[in-house]
A and B are shown apart, each in its own frame.
Chain A
């Protein structure tokens, strides 16, 4: 009879099945991350469409009276923090690849902090905008952008933080072996998650650059 391995749920697996399930799980994290990017793209696209639709409609000449702009200092600060968080994610992942788990953790802590400060600033900016939400098309889309950005930053920061928390648990779980060197399923899953998150952060940088240019520079 084929050797079987019982997992925590009581399901028995042959070694081939263990390998299949692991491969499928890693694949799910990889393709899930990409599909998440596709979903996020459509959401951002709807905001971009709204921006340019209202801009070209310019109903009642109220797209952007007096070329009013949201506080650029806040815009630059939030944008820089997003770049910092993404940079930390990339640097951290690169260090993780070469075995620097502690480096990854430090970079991630900085990323989490940057994300939280960015969220705080994005909320605080509401108190500093020089327009009423319904005063123009620009004002409306800016408020919409801000709300979406708070949600996006919250998701990214959550993802980063949970990976960070998991890395601490992981080192206990697999007996102090660095995640990089472990062939344990948990370690492989963790690495796939970090890779997927970093990829998503890269996309966030692209989207943030576009939206920053639209709302603060154009």
Chain B
């Protein structure tokens, strides 16, 4: 017997977070409804209104020196642009309706392409929106990196002025950092966490969608720095340079605050979802290791980012209403910014690293056909890294504003963090040990993560030592170290995840041949780009300076040419995506890698609510090659359950190959 909706409304209004039924509405359909276009119009009108309002309110107040700009007008323009964008996309419908005691009952579920350009409450759509969003960030930041390496081809013949160069470096760093905080959590976290824990939805789907559209407008805000003249501080925004900078600095501060809101809301939603929506039987010891990576990241996102938000707010107040938080001459302190920024900034490093570890931990058992070695150690390692990351920020201040007697303490805490990181490495090595590895594209990217992160991690241990840190501070050695950890770790892991899960997300296979070309080019030229920078750094080349000693030109040219080829490798990835997903799509097998993961056990394309019945979880998903392994889950419906021993000859690739 089926009980009809009319006679039973018990779930119809659980906080009105469930997607609401399709309703025909003259204003709720087609081009008259809210979508990316209306968001752009809203943002544009908001910008104009904010600028006018700022000039109206602040007429007679100080203008930014030598800029002809009112800082209050600049800030209000950006603020109202964000509000207009949010109104235009429909993110504020629900909060406004609630004010008058109504639910947003006229939300329409769109089908077809238009759903990707709207405020959508389906976590799978939001995940795909994030894929495009982070790639937009990534390729923009990548183009700026090409500009940097072009300038560094020659120490005396310049493409850019010194001033323009530092602004390009600053924009590159900021865009890449903003991208990196969300590159895994946004696309893969939002898409796969509910599937992996057996949930049919996110805890707060509107907050999830809100986080994406905030992230996207954050891109516009931070990019608005360039037409405002850029900012000269690098991605770290140090005062007093911050205080002296022009209006582009407001875009930086406000952009970080906006992206910060997106990060907090994304982390908040993911954390609450994992805590509350795990399927029956999904105990903490059965939670997939990728989910452990996401939950430890979410904890950092929700707790560390409010400090960044405050730091940005104080900076904005300094720039607009002339407070003096970071102005030494007026009772403030430039070191205050450094403390607040790095209290967020170092957990931020692990916000970027932990999801990558989660991806790798999830993928390697699939291609080694072995259970994950030391599952609990991996989870403990991630929690350990997350906790310790709050106690190391002062190592960024070894050279500035720290009592020298405090330095050994922070040296110790920084070195301590290598222990839980080592746990995670140990888990990987234990899983690889004596394994018959299938060298598919995702697995190659995972192996590269271990190789790259080893170099990045070991150089990090050097950097935690005060004498080394003091010697190489502010140089290319540090630059190389963090590119090895972030790009070599996180970005390689992201591509591992994309090649692994994209067939599930789109139902279409990727090309193995192009994937291999992409991997080898990226791996080889990544190392050829960044390894020489260790040497360049040890030989004394400082960061953020557009010229250098003549004897370093050979190494710099080598690094630059490698960087161009590294950039070209991403064109192969783009070609792969365009060809296999749009131009010549081939359906992917349901479980191309023979994964035991719960996300692979549901149908492709994934139903709107993920699982017909909420599964009851019987065990963890890592019982590879175990005779008599227990069944993963009871799906309550034989049709939706797939065999654990299923095999596929075509893997996740275009079968024509």
Contacts and interface: CB of A to CB of B under 8 A. Distances in A.
A208 interface: no
B101 A46 contact: no
B2 A42 contact: no
Nearest to A57: B333
B2 A28 contact: no
A72 interface: no
Interface string A38-66: 11101101110110011001111011100
B268 A32 contact: yes
Contact of A6 (B2, B19, B329): B2
A141 B307 CA distance: 15
A22 B10 contact: yes
Contacts of B656: none
A29 B330 contact: no
B336 A39 contact: no
**Which range contains the number of B residues in contact with the other chain?**
35 or more
B157 interface: no
B272 A165 contact: no
A14 B324 CA distance: 60
B323 interface: yes
A148 interface: yes
Nearest to B11: A7
Contacts of A97: none
B277 interface: yes
A29 B304 contact: no
A25 interface: yes
Contacts of B18: 7-9, 11
B303 A185 contact: no
A165 B100 contact: yes
A5 B8 contact: yes
A31 interface: yes
A17 B15 contact: no
A136 B276 contact: no
B203 A35 contact: no
A35 B302 contact: yes
A24 B276 contact: yes
Interface string A9-24: 1111110011011101
Contact of B203 (A32, A50, A165): A32
Given A11-B200, A143-B321, A137 B331 contact: yes
Interface in B525-577: none
B285 interface: no
Contacts of A140: 314, 317-318, 323-325, 330-332
B101 A166 contact: yes
Contacts of B384: none
Interface stretch (A75-83, A127-135, A209-217): A127-135
Contacts of B327: 134
Given A22-B10, A46-B307, A53-B339, A7 B325 contact: no
Given A7-B5, A13-B11, A46 B311 contact: yes
Q: Which of B95, B273, B336 has the most CB of A within 10 A?
A: B336
B3 A3 contact: yes
B331 A62 contact: yes
Nearest to B330: A134
Contacts of B199: 24
Nearest to A164: B101
B332 A54 contact: yes
A139 B323 contact: yes
A108 to B, nearest CB: 12
B20 A54 contact: no
A53 B200 CA distance: 47
B325 A25 contact: no
Given A27-B276, A39-B306, A50-B325, A162 B3 contact: no
23 contacts: A5-B5, A5-B8, A7-B11, A7-B18, A9-B21, A10-B21, A21-B200, A24-B276, A39-B264, A39-B302, A43-B309, A47-B310, A49-B340, A53-B339, A54-B325, A62-B331, A135-B331, A136-B330, A140-B324, A147-B317, A168-B101, A185-B12, A189-B13
- In the A-B complex, the 4 residue pairs with the smallest Cβ-Cβ separation, listed nearest first, are A165-B101, A62-B331, A137-B331, A7-B11
Interface of A: 2-14, 17-18, 20-22, 24-25, 27-29, 31-32, 35-36, 38-40, 42-43, 45-47, 49-50, 53-54, 57-60, 62-64, 132-141, 143-144, 147-148, 158, 161-162, 164-166, 168-169, 173, 184-186, 189, 193
Given A42-B304, A50-B310, 17 more contacts: A20-B614, A28-B277, A35-B272, A38-B302, A39-B264, A43-B307, A45-B307, A54-B332, A57-B333, A60-B331, A132-B322, A133-B321, A134-B324, A140-B314, A147-B317, A169-B101, A185-B14
